[in-house]
Amino acid sequence: MLARKILEEWLNDYLEVDKVSDYHPNGLQIEGKDSVGKIVTAVSINLAVVEAAVKNKADAIIVHHGMFWKSDETVIRGYRKHRIKKIIENDISLFAYHLPLDLHPEISNNRLILKGLGVDDIEEPEDTKIRYSFGLKGVFQSPPSFDEFVHRVNNLFGTESRVFHYGSDKISSLYVVSGAGRNMIDQVSRLGVDAYLTGDAQENTEYVAKEELLNYIYAGHYNTEKPGIKELGEQIKRKFQLDVQFIDISNPL
């Protein structure tokens, strides 16, 4: 068993929580028991994750998308009430790390995705406005074909991604923004990369990709944000020798 306070301090320090301004509180969101022996991790908090934590007798839940957001209503009712009630009844601690995980220099989703796709070099954009999107550029020394690249993406995420193939038939470089990257297409189209990989799209995405001759691939907000939280769990397991299990709740979006 590990003191919850020690786990909390390590997480906050490792993810450099104090350096990030975010849309929701990072760190401990609901306090549970003082000691932690078993942990479940997940992309987003939901009732299925809470029930899995209860079933596995977990002492803590760690997620990327937490319970409380600045834009939420402040009344606790409906689904929020049911989630919180079950968490408190079972004395489970809930931790959430959003942008600190997206920005992490070692285990950000974008960095892990690029490594998983086999790029040879990873670069941060020089334009600070682009960098604010939390994306990263990857470069292939031996460019795969477009079809091979999409095959790698699908294998990495275990899904059938959607594609708009309007760019090069060879992928020398790509830009990755995990999750909701649809609004970055204007900026990414000016970077000169062969492909843009993100989690989602919007109504005008295909028009822009076609007119900018850009390959646009979207593999799901959920899928593209699994790598970081899974690796965080592995880091905890190695450092503290705790029982950590990732709960994969399939989500098509």
Question: Could you report the per-residue pLDDT of 85-128, keeping only the tens digit for each?
Answer: 999 999 999 999 999 999 999 999 999 999 999 999 998 766 54
Contact 194, 168 (CB under 8 A): yes
Domain-embedded: residue 244: no
| CATH number of the domain bearing residue 187 | 3.40.1390.30
Domain check: are 89 and 142 in the same one?
no
Domain-embedded: residue 245: no
Task: Name the percent of the chain lying above pLDDT 70.
Answer: 96
Tell me how far CA of residue 43 lies from CA of 39, 101, 224, 251, in angstroms. 14, 11, 10, 10
Structure-token pair, residue 222: 């959920």
3-state DSSP percent of the chain in helix, strand and coil, to 5: 40, 20, 40
- pLDDT score of 183: 92
- pLDDT score of 21: 85
Domain-embedded: residue 173: yes
Question: Could you report the per-residue pLDDT of 62-86, keeping only the tens digit for each?
Answer: 999 999 998 888 899 999 999 999 9
Question: Could you report the per-residue pLDDT of 191-232, keeping only the tens digit for each?
Answer: 999 999 999 999 999 999 999 999 999 999 999 999 999 999
**Of 205, 246, 221, 228, nearest to 61 (Cα)?**
246
Domain check: are 130 and 181 in the same one?
yes
Q: The dihedral of CA 162, 154, 168, 182: what is its sign?
A: positive
Half-sphere exposure of 71 (CA within 13 A, CB side): 2
Domain check: are 199 and 120 in the same one?
yes
Q: Residue 86: give the domain boundaries.
A: 2-101
Domain check: are 134 and 199 in the same one?
yes
Structure-token pair, residue 226: 């699994």
Domain-embedded: residue 249: no
Task: Name the percent of the chain lying above pLDDT 90.
Answer: 89
- pLDDT score of 57: 97
Number of domains the chain is built from: 2
Question: Could you report the per-residue pLDDT of 30-51, keeping only the tens digit for each?
Answer: 999 999 999 999 999 999 999 9
Domain-embedded: residue 233: no
For residue 68, give the amino acid letter. Answer: F
Once rounded to an integer, what is the mean pLDDT over residues 45-59?
Answer: 98
